[in-house]
Structure 1
């Protein structure tokens, strides 16, 4: 479990690489009552997790923001997502206000297949949203739902990145896996999709989509950690392919909803042996370029 040394270890990692800090594209901030329901779900080992999952950083919101600063995280997201219709627009309003009052937060928004989704996504873009979150597993929807056509069109036109939980880990959903995403990309090839968790456990299929579509990126969230390797090991033979995609892999952590200390994700990436240049790109430079952040 996390200790007071987490900040020291995370900052030392960035320092060894000569980085000014880290950019984490997959961190969760959401309204307090929603976050507490998410934590309760993890505590109950619900069907979408199916295993014990202790929350490492169960802290009040201000302390969680403070912790990321202590870890040397320069920029981060507020990944939030609806599990039913009628939630997304309200969540977007909260996320807009959170980004305005939180230095370092990349203004995040979300959506759900429902009437009016295109309009509120356009509103979010107009309000300055820089990244979106789609959770196919929790939302239980097909990303090809016709109600989402105006959403995907607007996001493709804007070039706005969308972090998509579309892999079947930690438990499969009705619409998870590579096939729905492949159909989506065939219709909207300009989409800038960030596949969460490297598409765990369908790593090879999502690597292939990244190789086929220039706009597809991958985030490292929970991949390669001791926790995930127990049930969804990354195939070692695919590491050269991951190395070749080094300019399209982004650091993600799932903070605060992780069952280990924050530095373990960084250590898990380092022990892959893909080199310092790859680590610098993944942990800072790729996301800095994507979001127009300072590189130095």
Structure 2
């Protein structure tokens, strides 16, 4: 309903089968993204994610938050428990990243250096607080925050490429970008392709598996269409994440 077109989920399997599929695909490490959309939800999701990571060693311990009075406490607890990456979805959560209830959260994340994947672009459907302006202000306030902009910031590709150029610790992920599904409505600007080369160390593979309307392989195939060379593919699909998350392999 939000995007006005069918979005069939390709991998409708249970948890065990989904993990097995990723391993069969050759994925060495993955995350477990979390999407709180109301108060008193994030702490429970963090508890589930900690348990999932403990029994799934190839999953990076993932955590999340929502603007609420308890956020500072459970984010601090998640970091202390070994969270390796956080998730913030501005559109699903329908909150501003500049909400004062998150001031301490961003401060904790900046101090810890734990990366946070933020869905802040206005695609595939805009939200009240999506777009580059709130994130530009957030980075002005917390310039050492380690942010991974989901979906290459679609459809505001240019502005989020600018943000990655401006701030040393702003990265982008490729989730759904360049795929036929996305290119039909919000194509990546052809005049921005050279910037992918210049930012090669700041782009990471993202897939949104399992909630994707195409086969997993398609995301990899489309990267070959835009890659300046094979070393770029290796950096995006392996080396950049290995370095950022300190995977030591």
- TM-score scaled by length of structure 2: 0.99
Q: Which residue of 1 aligns with 2:6?
A: 52
Shift, 1:53, TM fit = 0.2
CA contact (8 A) 1:50 1:171 kept: no
User: Is it true that 1:229 corresponds to 2:183 in the alignment?
Assistant: yes
User: Is it true that 1:171 corresponds to 2:125 in the alignment?
Assistant: yes
User: Is it true that 1:114 corresponds to 2:68 in the alignment?
Assistant: yes
Q: Which residue of 2 aligns with 1:123?
A: 77
Query: CA-to-partner distance for each residue in 1:109-164, whole Å, 9 max, x for gaps?
Result: 00000001011000000000000000000000000000000000000000010000
- 1:273/1:123 Cα in 2 relative to 1: closer, same or farther (>3 Å)? closer
Runs of 5+ unmatched residues, structure 2? none
Root mean square deviation, CA, Å:
0.7
Higher RCO (C-alpha under 8 Å, 6+ residues apart): 1
User: Is it true that 1:62 corresponds to 2:20 in the alignment?
Assistant: no
CA contact (8 A) 2:227 2:233 kept: no
Residues paired across the two proteins, number: 249
Runs of 5+ unmatched residues, structure 1? 1-45
**Which residues of 2 match residues 208-219 of structure 1 at below 5 A?**
208-219=162-173
Query: CA-to-partner distance for each residue in 1:189-240, whole Å, 9 max, x for gaps?
Result: 0000000000000000000000000110000000000000001100111111
- 1:275/1:145 Cα in 2 relative to 1: closer, same or farther (>3 Å)? same
C-alpha distance in 1 between matches for 2:141 and 2:226: 35
C-alpha distance in 2 between matches for 1:142 and 1:211: 23
SS at match of 2:231: helix
SS at match of 1:218: strand
C-alpha distance in 2 between matches for 1:202 and 1:122: 32
C-alpha distance in 1 between matches for 2:120 and 2:162: 14
Shift, 1:243, TM fit = 1.1
C-alpha distance in 2 between matches for 1:110 and 1:206: 22
User: Is it true that 1:275 corresponds to 2:229 in the alignment?
Assistant: yes
CA contact (8 A) 2:71 2:102 kept: yes
